[in-house]
């Protein structure tokens, strides 16, 4: 669902995090994990859609939740976000394929097809991550 004509809600949208240098644990460039930094590559987005696509879902959710809050009161987005949080936790270990079925059903993604379902399907990804490293990254140990 796309909400339209809501300029007043735009102040709630997520500020574009953009292409800052990848900071590691100590606030400086994490050379070991993300390689040498190149200022030109990181300051300017190379494609017009790169930034807007990165935050598209977040912005949509924020706009929808704030509309819902204005129409139905605070309980509506609170309840929905609680359900989203619970559904997001139903998944396998990070390096395995999880279907996200509950989350998709809640968000309504099971009744529509968009480019997220066709392009870059994680089930057919050619790159596999090292299991130990992925789990440690997810748990915040690394």
Partner 1 sequence: MALSNVLETPASGFNFENVSRNVALDGLLEGGHTKAPKPMKTGTTIAGVVCKDGVVLGADTRATSGEVVADKMCAKIHYISPNMYCCGAGTAADTEKTTDLLSSNLTIFSMTSGRNPRVVMAVNILQDMLFRYKGQIGASLILGGVDCTGNHLYTVGPYGSIDNVPYLAMGSGDLAALGILEDRFKPNMELEEAKELVRDAIHSGIMSDLGSGNNIDICVITKQGVDYIRPYQESEYKDKRQRRYKYRPGTTSILTEKIVPLELEVVQETVQRMHTA
* Binding of residue 141 to partner 1 (CB under 8 A): no
3 state DSSP class of 43? helix
Pick from 36, 120, 139, 140 the residue near partner 1 by CB under 8 A.
120
Region from 9-17, 68-76, 78-86, 127-135 binding partner 1, contact rule CB under 8 A: 127-135
The closest of 84, 62, 65 to 75, measured between CA atoms, is: 65
Q: How far is the CB of 64 from partner 1 (least distance, A)?
A: 13
Q: Count CB atoms within 10 A of the CB of residue 77.
A: 20
Beta partners for residue 29, in sequence order: 23
* Binding of residue 61 to partner 1 (CB under 8 A): no
Q: In whole angstroms, what is the distance from residue 59 CA to residue 63 CA?
A: 6
Q: How far is the CB of 45 from partner 1 (least distance, A)?
A: 8
Burial of 87 (0-12, 13-18, 19+ CB in 10 A): middle
Region from 10-18, 66-74, 81-89, 128-136 binding partner 1, contact rule CB under 8 A: 128-136
**In this structure, what token pair is assigned to residue 59?**
């912005």
* Binding of residue 115 to partner 1 (CB under 8 A): yes
Residues of this chain that bind partner 1 (CB under 8 A): 2, 33, 41, 46-50, 52-53, 56, 94-95, 111-117, 119-122, 125, 127-131, 133-134, 137-138
């Amino acid at each position: 669902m796309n909400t339209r004509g809501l300029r007043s809600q735009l102040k709630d949208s997520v500020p574009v995090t953009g292409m800052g240098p990848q900071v590691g644990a100590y606030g400086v460039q994490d050379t070991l994990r993300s390689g040498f930094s190149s200022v030109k590559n990181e300051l300017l987005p190379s494609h017009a859609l790169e930034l807007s696509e990165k935050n598209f879902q977040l912005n949509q959710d924020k706009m929808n939740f704030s509309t819902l809050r204005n129409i139905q009161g605070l309980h509506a987005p609170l309840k929905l976000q609680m359900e989203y949080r619970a559904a997001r936790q139903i998944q396998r270990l990070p390096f395995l394929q999880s279907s996200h079925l509950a989350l998709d059903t809640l968000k309504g993604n099971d009744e529509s097809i968009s480019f997220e379902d066709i392009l870059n399907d994680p089930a057919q990804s050619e790159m596999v991550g090292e299991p130990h490293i992925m789990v440690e990254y997810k748990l915040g140990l690394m």
